[in-house]
Amino acid sequence: MAHRTGVRAPSRLAAAFFDRDAALVAPDLLGALISTGTGEQRATARIVEVEAYRGADDPGSHAFRGRTPRNAAMFGPPGTLYVYFVYGMHFCANVVCGPAGTPHAVLLRAAEPRSGVDVMRTRRRSARRDHDLLRGPGNLAAALGIDRDLDGARPGRRWSIGDDGSPAPEVRVTTRIGLAAGRGDDLELRFVVVGSPAVSRSRAG
DNA sequence: CGGCCGATCCACT
DNA sequence: GTGGATCGGCCGA
């Protein structure tokens, strides 16, 4: 008999879940659980902020100018992880959406820690409170130990996203963060869970 | 709370 | 050579 953990065992999301336009997958990912690592390194968090990047026609997407070595993972099958390095020090994690060859992706921007808080703290020394651990895409990747090793990884032992059966959270939609003018910065493709402490107040919408 | 700035690497032009 | 799907510290209000 399994002992109580306070966290319902997450069921892995089916590949079909991701085989859609990123703008449709993104809001459905809110409230889902992402897990990384095994054993002592295991960590799980509830996704509360995401952005949709809609492939070759989206000027804000890394795939806008076609396939390159860096964005190759975006062209993989739905559910593939796309990890990139920015500003000389941060990694950001995306889940690839749509059929293979259509480079849609959902950027994971913030999450609430559910288990493995100790490992996350060792990876995020500067985080003051628990809800700061995975606030922001660079911090989320750092807390979960996501780096270039996981670029292109399929869901499995090293990482996975699942549903815990909770009711769908209330969602708010805003424009995307950090894009230069003219790069689709006016599109409402950012989705946040209303009231989550892991979404900063000024950016709650 | 909001704005500004430096840090630090690398993919692409 | 340039600038980025960022972060955290520091400043002034």
Nucleotide nearest to A84 (CA to C1'): C5
Please choose, from the candidates A195, A202, A188, the residue with its C-alpha nearest in 3D space to the C-alpha of residue A26.
A188
- Residue A162: CB less than 7 A from any atom in strand C: no
- Residue A73: CB less than 7 A from any atom in strand C: no
Could you read off the pLDDT of A1-12 as tens digits, one per residue?
A: 445 556 667 789
CA atom of A83 to C1′ atom of B8, Å: 18
Residue nearest to nucleotide B6 (CA to C1'): A87
Q: What is the pLDDT tens value at each position of chain A, 205 positions in all?
A: 445 556 667 789 999 999 999 999 999 999 999 999 999 999 999 999 999 999 999 999 999 999 999 999 999 999 999 999 999 999 999 999 999 999 999 999 999 999 999 999 999 999 999 999 999 999 999 999 999 999 999 999 999 999 999 999 999 999 999 999 999 999 999 999 999 999 987 888 8
Nucleotide nearest to A89 (CA to C1'): B8
Could you read off the pLDDT of A170-189 as tens digits, one per residue?
A: 999 999 999 999 999 999 99
pTM of the predicted structure, to 2 decimals:
0.95
CA separation for the pair A31, A103 (Å, rounded): 24
- Residue A139: CB less than 7 A from any atom in strand C: yes
Q: Which residues contact A205 (CB under 8 A, 6 or more apart)?
A: A172, A173, A174, A190, A192
